[in-house]
Each structure stands twice: as structure tokens, then as C-alpha cells.
Structure 1
């Protein structure tokens, strides 16, 4: 039994007293979370929660276990930190957005080699939701996250914002303007990427600025987004770096939309040594290569999330 992983799940459920919110914090589905709690209860030979259709409550054994579980997990985190600082980990595992520009990836690797030639960097491209799960399960040391996302139990580096503009087919009447307002896009379809939180955040910002797309197409990959734009099916709201032959990119007046990005690592792990170096390098590379600028960072507490606004 993965005791540490099960205890981590137990503590989150005990804090939330709601399996749905706990699953969201852990970046996993609710059924596997319930199964982990049940396996822990079988292993310990006692019920830890009283469950009903209306409420979840700790049993007396659950209350006794909670403090000890928190203490054990804190010790595990300290051991992990000591191992990393002592150089016992053979590689630094870093998650990056799967659509990160190739120039940025190359610059990131090169800049990290300059400061840490002795420690290999294992870059793992994936969606933000996958990185959240991997961070919480200890499968990644650090990840570059796109916000908004659930940052509970994570520490964050500097928040960077990359202005979004309009990607449209070359020759579109909208391309005649050097800059556009979101309201100018009225009557057009939109293609969007990212998870549900990022999608909702983007559409809410569009609505506030007078653009309600006729149809919203969900894209699993930047190449699919480009295909819809080239076909004239939809417009996209992306950074300037996405502009390719056959398309035109126009900035939005006032920069009303930003891609917000930051490094994240497990809460309680000191940002020292290789981890601190990678946070610094990644922040510098993203800011320089992708024209990102620092933005204000504010955590808005919610029952099951730590979205940044």
C-alpha cells in the first residue's frame, strides 16, 4: 500500500469533509479517491469517516489519526527536501506546457545547463491538469502552469502575463485594422485551447469586453487551432508567436486578455538549490523569449481551488 499517498488523500478529505472538493484539490477523479480512503480504512481496520448522502464527518479514530498524519507528511516533505539538496536525485523533473514554443524550450534547456551542468533536466510537456496531478503525487519537482488552475498545496514563483491577440486568416477584413477591440469580433466563431477553468476564464473576459462567440470550438492541440483559423472556421486568441504563414495576428487594444503563467512546486518544499535555480531560469526565459511581463498575483480562496486572478 502506498501509505504516504493514502495519508495525503486522507488529510485533504479530512480538511474538506467533502469528497468532490477533496478530489479537485488533489487533481484526481472522485471514485479513485474514495477507493484510496477505503483501502486505508481496510489496512487500519477502522472507519475514518462517517459518510451519508448529506455530510461527511470524521470518526473518533479519524480525528486521532489526523494530527499524526499531518506530522508524518511534514516529515516526509523534509526528507524529500534534504534528499534534493544533497543531490541524491539524479534528475530534476519539470513539467512544461505542451504548446511551449520550441525556441523557448531550447533557451530554457541552455540557460539551465549554464547554472546546473551537473544535474540533468527532464522536461515533460503536458496539459496543466496533468501537471497538477503529477505535482501532488510527487511525480514532478516543478511545473510551468497556465492559470487559472487549482493551486492548493502548491507554492508559486513570479506570475507572468503574456498578451493575447487575434489570430485570423490572412486577407480577413479584420486584418485591415492595426489593432482590434474584442467587440470587433462580434459574429465570429472562436476556437479555444486548455482545460475548463482556462476556457471559462477566457470566455468570461470576452463577454466583459463585448464579444460573445457564435460558436466555441474546443481544440486539443495548437495545430488543430491553426487548421480552423486557416480554414476560416473560427478565430483564435493567442500570443503573437503563434502567427504563421497564411494567418494574420492583430493585438487587442488595451491588452484585455493575458495568458498567466508561473512556476509551481509542492508546498513545504524549500525553493533552494536546483529548484530555486530552475525557477529563476524559467522566469527569465519566459519573460525574455515570450515577451511576458510581471503581473500582480492575488490568490482568491475558494472551497476547492486556489485560482489566481
Structure 2
């Protein structure tokens, strides 16, 4: 592994190369002050050791060792070079160790996308696990709605997202990491706030509903439409984010359908009510917990680091990850 050095004298002279083996041999001699003992320590014979040190001196352009009948000593240049030699070896060893950690998935940088509501139950525990289990991994957080996360993955801005389906399965891989119930958010004092037991679609007949944008918030739009399929509710607003829906509920503008974890946002003036089970859109959905959170990444881009982080996401979510 060559270490390159430029020596400037009224311009640049041709670069002389030295090798890490030469530097290690010099360090051994400088510490032992004896070629025989240094050769034994390096597990080699004395002649090749001497040649390595001589090549190093030619590469450096300075005599580093005094050789005499009374033994070996460092020259002033050798003493100065020894400090640099220690740093060179330490830097290379640290670089090698870091590269191996990156290759093994225990170091590096990951750009992680998340939605505001997904952060409630998963992000905090995940960051704690990352700090504990992967302290050499730098996590750069990006708060984005699901559609923006998909675009971020496509453009290479994100490595991993925590988002809601659907996704382009031709370009992205996904894994279900959490499931939770869908709840109704109703204003304090609303007649539905005092109803005992889970609410069904018929309970929302003639009620003003705060809906979700059909394209910008497609996932929650479809969940709401499926739940209200046989009701006579009136959708009067269309929003893009769960928090916005909750704020409108608190303002008395209607009721909304939100993931159960949204109760942790603590929006004043809102009561969260359970719903009857929602029929699944596909065979492996859970009618009691229809709201899914997926980890998503570019297809073919599952590195050792992302594989380890996915395992921690699963732990943070409190359950086994399910392949989508």
C-alpha cells in the first residue's frame, strides 16, 4: 500500500513512493535499535529488512539511521520521521478497520426518511437502538410524506424510508414493519365522543368528514373510503397530513380517520375512538390493524448496513417484520 509524498523545491519534483512495509520495518528498527532483533520481530531475515529501510531512506531523501559498530541510533531526521511514521501506520490501520466496518454493515452514513406520524412509535426507539448497537453509523433524518420519500429514493437522496403504501414494486422493495388500528378522531363534545364500543360506518351517516387528498395522501384516503363505503357521510375537506386533519377536528370542522398512534400527538379538543374491524384490501392484511408502516428502499440496494438497520427497525416497532 504505497504512501505518496511530494517534495517541493521551486516547483514539484517527481513523486517518490514509499510503502507501508518499509515504514513498519523502520519503526521496528527505531524501537529495537538493533537490526537483528527488529528482523526477528518482523518475522524476516536481516538482509531484506535492511533493504527495506534503505529503500525508505532513498524515498524520503534523508538518512534516518546511524549505523555503527556500537549499534544503531536515530538521526535527527529519523527522530522526526518516526513521529510521522506512527501517524501513517495508525491512519492506515484506522482506515482499514473503518472500511471493514462499512463492508460488514457496522459503520457508514444512512439517509432515513420518515413521516411525522411514523416518528411517534418507531423513530425514537430506532434512534436509541442505532446509538446502542451501531454507534459508528451516522443517521441523517429527512421528514417527508410518503410520496416525497419515494422520490427521494429514486433520486438517491434517501437510503431508507418509513412510509405508507402503495409503492412501485418494480423500483422499490418494501417490508411491513408495523401495523396498528384505524381510529376516528372526533371533537370533544361531539355526539360520537360518548358512544360506547367501536364505531361502525353507519355511525357516520350525515357527519362532516375531513378526508385525505386522493393522490397526495392516497393511503389514508383509500382507508377512509373503504371504511365509509356503506355510509352516508359527507366529505367536506381534503388534507395531505394526519396532523392537519387532527387540527381541523379540534377546530370543530368534522371528524377524521387517523392511525391509533396519532393519539400520542396530544392534540387538545380531540377524542380518539376505536372502529370496527376494516376489511383488508389484500389477503395478508389485518382487519383489526389495517394501518401499515413499511420500510422501503431501492430494489437491489439492500446493503449490509441497511440489512442491519432493518432488523433494528423491526425491533423498534415491537414486532416481527413481514415481507410485503
TM-score range, shorter chain: 0.5 to 0.7
Structure 2 match to 1:280:
311
Q: Give the distance between the partners of 2:232 and 2:148, measured in 1 at CA.
A: 29
Q: Give the distance between the partners of 1:158 and 1:260, measured in 2 at CA.
A: 7
Residues 117 and 145 of structure 1: CA distance in aligned 2, closer, same or farther (over 3 Å):
same
1:237 to 257, 260, 263: 257
Deviation, structure 1 residue 252: 0.7
Greater percentage in strand: 2
**Contact 2:211 / 2:238 at 8 angstroms: preserved in 1?**
yes
TM superposition score normalised by structure 1: 0.60
Structure 2 match to 1:95:
113
Deviation, structure 1 residue 132: 0.6
Which structure has the bigger radius of gyration? Answer: 2
Q: Give the distance between the partners of 1:212 and 1:130, measured in 2 at CA.
A: 33
Report 1:217-232 matches (<5 A).
Answer: 217-232=237-252
CA RMSD of aligned residues (A): 2.9
Structure 1 match to 2:56:
none
Q: Give the distance between the partners of 2:240 and 2:222, measured in 1 at CA.
A: 17
SS in 1 for 2:111: strand
Structure 2 match to 1:162:
180
2:271 to 226, 245, 248: 248
Residues 84 and 193 of structure 1: CA distance in aligned 2, closer, same or farther (over 3 Å):
farther
Residues 199 and 232 of structure 1: CA distance in aligned 2, closer, same or farther (over 3 Å):
same
Structure 2 unmatched ranges of 5 or more:
1-99, 280-286
The answer to whether 1:198 aligns with 2:216 is no
**Contact 2:118 / 2:162 at 8 angstroms: preserved in 1?**
no
Deviation, structure 1 residue 168: 0.5
Structure 1 match to 2:295:
263
Structure 1 unmatched ranges of 5 or more:
1-81, 298-309
Alignment: residue pair count: 210
Residues 230 and 85 of structure 1: CA distance in aligned 2, closer, same or farther (over 3 Å):
same
